[in-house]
Amino acid sequence: MSDHQHRIAVEAGVEVPVPADGERWTVGAVILNRDGAAFAQRRGPDRRLFPDCWDIVGGHVEPGESLLDALAREVEEETGWRLCRVRRHLGTTTWAGDDGGGTRHEADYLVEVDGDLDRPALEWSKHTAYDWFGPAELPRLKENRAPGEYLVHDLIAKALSALPLHSGPHMLQEQGSLLGCRGCASPRGSRGRSAPCRPGPGHPAWCEAALADGGRAGGP
């Protein structure tokens, strides 16, 4: 097991394909911030594949790598953050670029990372900008993309559609469980019941609101 894999938790039921001999694979990571917006970076205008287009974090799986190894490596290389959890498999697609590289299989994931989300360490030789995209900003992800090349847009839209639902003003639910707050070490709740929150740095927006409301997390 690689050093990268030791740092990764994978949610139950998440599919991680094993490449067959001779197949070319790529991986992609959709990363959300505390406000539920998704990270994307603009590819440089001189890139052979998808120049001057918005893209998620990711890249090619190198020989001998597992998909998780590649996912962790790409996250660290492209942002400086560290992959810590794979939450959901967003899908596997097959595509061929115009670079003569043949057919690729791509596995994309909704993930969590450790690091300063306000200061990504971009590979500026490959990317020219970054931004966070909520539902209102999704059309921008189609910039410079030909019709039918909206994979990045569709992946981020799918990830955003899977965001926790609000139940009460200060609670986020996902598949019946509260999201934990790493800033205050709040435990994950269960089935929509309250999760106590203790003061500490780095609270997500829902947690800060709960603290202002006396530590209540809402709920039925």
pLDDT at 207 over 50: no
Q: Which residues contact 83 (CB under 8 A, 6 or more apart)?
A: 4, 7, 8, 29, 71, 72, 75, 76, 111, 112, 113
138 and 177 together in one domain: no
Average confidence score pLDDT of the chain: 78
* Higher pLDDT pick, 184 / 36: 36
Chosen domain end from 161, 183, 204: 161
Higher per-residue pLDDT: 200 or 77: 77
pLDDT band at 103 (very low <50, low <70, confident <90, very high): confident
Q: Residues 188-204: what's their mean pLDDT? A: 39
Helix or strand run (H / E) with residue 30:
strand 25-31
Last-in-domain residue among 138, 161, 184? 161
DSSP labels, 52-103: T-EE-EEEEPPTT--HHHHHHHHHHHHHS-EEEEEEEEEEEEEEE-SSS--E
Of the residues 139, 161, 183, the one at which a domain ends? 161
Say whether both 28 and 80 belong to one domain. yes
* Same domain (yes/no): 174, 157: no
Which of 46-50, 102-106, 141-145, 185-189 is the most confident on average?
141-145
CA distance 195 to 216: 7
Asked whether residue 147 falls in the same domain as residue 108, the answer is: yes
* pLDDT for residue 171 is more than 70: no
pLDDT at 147: 87
Mean pLDDT, residues 114-131: 95
pTM: 0.73
- Give how many domains the chain has, as a whole number: 2
Residue 199 has pLDDT above 70, yes or no: no
Domain housing 178: 164-220
User: Are 112 and 125 in the same domain?
Assistant: yes
Q: Cα(99)–Cα(147) distance, rounded to whole angstroms?
A: 18
Q: Are residues 41 and 150 located together in one domain of the fold?
A: yes
Residues 168 and 155 in one domain: no
CATH of the domain at 41: 3.90.79.10
| Per-residue pLDDT tens over the stretch 139-170 | 999 999 988 889 999 999 999 997 764 433 33
Q: Are 44 and 126 in contact (CB under 8 A)?
A: yes
Considering the domain architecture, whether residues 48 and 107 belong to the same structural domain is answered as yes
* Confidence label for 102 from pLDDT (cuts 50, 70 and 90): confident
DSSP character for 153?
A: H
**pLDDT the model gives residue 148:** 82
Query: Is 108 in the same domain as 198?
Result: no
153 and 183 belong to one structural domain: no
Residues 44 and 112 in one domain: yes
Looking at the fold, whether 21 and 46 belong to one and the same domain comes out as yes
When comparing pLDDT for 191 and 30, which is higher? 30
